[in-house]
Amino acid sequence: MVITFHTVSTNHLERALRFEPTKCSEIWRFVTYMLVHDDWYHLILNVVIQCIFALLLERRQGHLRVLLLYLLGGVTGVLGASCVHPDLVIGASAGVYALLISNIADIVLVSKKKKKKKYLTVS
């Protein structure tokens, strides 16, 4: 979907969807900015990393949880970015970071659970 959007989008449409701190009353911009990318390299890198981390996480957490995590990570990321650096925000990097951090947390929790299970089995 994002690749198709990048292919057919116009400058006017991209300006209507990207996040601009001066237009905070336009609530859709908190999510739609993730559809707008600077160039093909930015887009492909985000899509590949999204697929890798989302697929790994979906196996254990399910599709709906991963989708919610991705969207909430994107909204949280744009809010944080607008506080630190009030400028245009484009790309899905905040959602990708949310997936990455969630994968790390999932790996740590699963490894702790396995160690605990191993300990209980030995005792």
- The H or E element containing residue 23 is none
Into which CATH architecture does domain 2-122 fall?
A: Up-down Bundle (1.20)
| pLDDT beneath 50: ranges in the chain | 120, 122-123
Distances (CA, A) of 53 to 14, 80, 94, 99, 104: 26, 22, 13, 6, 10
The predicted pLDDT at position 111 comes to 75
What are the boundaries of each domain within the chain? 2-122
**Amino acid identity for residue 122 in this structure:** V
At 64 the pLDDT is 93
Record the tokens describing residue 2, joined without a space. Answer: 């994002």
DSSP assignment of 28-50, as one string? THHHHGGG--SSHHHHHHHHHHH
Could you give phi then psi for residue 89, rounded to 5 degrees? -130, 125
φ, ψ of residue 109 to 5 degrees: the values are -65, -40
Residue 118: the pLDDT is 56
The whole-number pLDDT of residue 68 equals 92
How many beta carbons lie within 10 A of that of residue 62, not counting itself?
11
Predicted TM-score (pTM) of the model is 0.72
CA distance 111 to 34: 32
Angle at the Cα of 37 from the Cα atoms of 59 and 25, rounded to 5 degrees = 95
Q: Which residues pair with 19 in a beta bridge?
A: 89
